[in-house]
């Protein structure tokens, strides 16, 4: 078994370590997954966390709020406050046109990336020198 060890943005694999591969993969796509959820309709942070958790995409409100703030600052989502029957007002998030373009571009990139990885994991690589 190997583990990826990263120091100052340089990563290397270390034999015998605990694998954090799934966490690293999630971290790399979570912003786009949040955009995908928001693109389905207006959402608030707790609801987004709940949906991600239900899909085994573990995250917490503590990481969600900074992520949503980045998306807002980047112009990928807008926000509005709404009264809640169950407590204080909630901030709802809605995807912008820039957010939709970003999500569409990611979808295309992800499909190519996924296909390339699936192809490599499926077996011998064609055109590889012996």
Helix axes 21-39, 45-54, angle to 10 degrees: 130
pTM to 2 decimal places:
0.77
Please give the domain boundaries of the chain with CATH numbers for all domains: 2-6+14-108 (1.10.10.10)
The pLDDT tens digits of the residues spanning 56-109 come to 887 788 889 999 999 999 999 999 999 989 889 999 999 999 999 999 999 999
CA angle 84-89-95, nearest 5°?
95
Q: Which residues contact 111 (CB under 8 A, 6 or more apart)?
A: none
């Amino acid at each position: 078994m190997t583990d990826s060890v990263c120091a100052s943005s340089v990563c290397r694999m270390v034999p015998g370590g605990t694998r954090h591969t799934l966490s690293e993969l999630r971290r790399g796509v979570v912003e786009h997954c949040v955009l995908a959820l928001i693109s389905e309709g207006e959402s608030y942070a707790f609801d987004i966390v709940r949906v991600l958790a239900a899909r085994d995409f573990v995250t917490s409100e503590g990481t969600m709020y900074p992520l949503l703030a980045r998306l807002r600052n980047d112009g990928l989502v807008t926000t509005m406050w709404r009264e809640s029957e169950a407590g204080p007002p909630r901030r709802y998030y809605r995807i912008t046109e820039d957010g939709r373009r970003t999500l569409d571009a990611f979808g295309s990139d992800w499909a190519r990336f996924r296909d390339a990885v699936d192809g490599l994991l499926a077996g011998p690589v064609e055109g590889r020198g012996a």
